[in-house]
Structure 1
Amino acid sequence: MTKRMKTGAAAAAAVLAIVICAVLIIQQTHEDALSKEAVIKKVEASYEGDITKVTRSNDKKTYDMTLENPKGIYFLKADAKSGDILSMNRVKETNTADMTEKEAEQLALVRVPGTVKKHTRKHGVASYTIQKNNGETYEVKVDMKTKAVVSADKISSKDKQKTTISEKEAKAIAEREAGGKADDADLEESEGTLLFEVDVDLPNDKEAKVKINAYTGKVSNIIYED
């Protein structure tokens, strides 16, 4: 074999070795990659929402994924080996505006028709105390984000004692309205509505009885006595 032939054979062998190594590396890379199902499971365990589309990149190194949740649609790129998120971009924003209080009240009244006696709102949930025409009282809760009634429970006589206005607050209201010093405050029911009846001692040695709605704090009546 001539010197030139030997040199050519050595070069060919070197090229073949490089090709074999590249194939082995690529094969090993593919074998180490997580399955599509495994990557989906890992991502959904870490992020709110559902994976709706998954494709493998041409170089097989990443998974391209579409994630959808109440806040919008996101495009994610995940490492094929570890399943770690390499990038995440929101491509569409979902309208997450809460419903208005008027809309929430209307929804509550559809569930329980009647008259709203009390209304509170906490952490995106609106609570309504609604009295029906037959005198029954219900507490209806509306989630203002999901725009749905989450509960509608009848309030028993015992539960009615849990009012928004405390006895101390009722006395303060009575003193402000009648202009005297509050003495006793009794909780009573009148036509299905709870009222505080507060006795107020006036400066002219007279008395006044002040009736206050136990849910709203509004004065419904003041009777001045001799």
Structure 2
Amino acid sequence: MRKYLQRPLGPVLVAALFAMLLCPATTHALGLNAAMKKAQAHVDSGEPDKAAEILRELQVDHPDSPMVAYALGSALYASAKRLAALETPDTAIEAYAEAERHFARAAQDTQPDRKREAEFARITAKTGAALLISPEERYEDALRALRETVAAHEQFLREHPGHAGAENNLDLLRLKLKELLQHSPEQQEQEKQDQPPDDNKQPMDFFLNVGTDLPGATVESEGNTARLVVPEGGGARP
């Protein structure tokens, strides 16, 4: 069965995870939940940037809220994915990095389950950025970033063994790292040097320049061999 990179939860699901932080009977809590749902609606409609705007404003009033930090990280993660699809990797990498920072703030939560999911979201955002670095243009940077994400997932699984999403992602990242190591610039150069010369790959111009003084005769070339074709009767006679 094919595996796919597991992603962090969205703001509405996060609201459920962090529900114990709120008192549903208060206007304060209702306003927070309404803003979260509005942000999620923007994400669902393909407008994660608008969701991020709402959540940044919300964070001004709730600077210490792990829920808001996680939700903002989720919106930025969605924005990064959209930017990556638009083939703007540098901007997408910046969005992933910002998402990672907000997930890290959410991971300061003292409740174990919420802390775990925020930390998983953080390393997932880190992975998203790492996978956008072009090995063809920045091989060493791509290799270093990929190794860091593998190490981050291994550390996460030591602290949270059996986490299905992290296990799935680690398998994919290890495979990606193996492929990258097998296609290093040095390896590719060595493969070129190890290829035997192909004598058949000769410039055709060489054979096209082969001529004859025999009237009516022609030259046919095949591979690296030229053959003289003389008309029946030995060619035209004066």
TM-score for both structures, normalised by structure 1: 0.22
- Structure index of larger Rg: 1
TM (normalized to structure 2)? 0.21
Of the two structures, which has the highest relative contact order with CA contacts closer than 8 Å and spacing of 6 or more?
2
Q: From the two aligned structures, give the one with the greater helix fraction.
A: 2
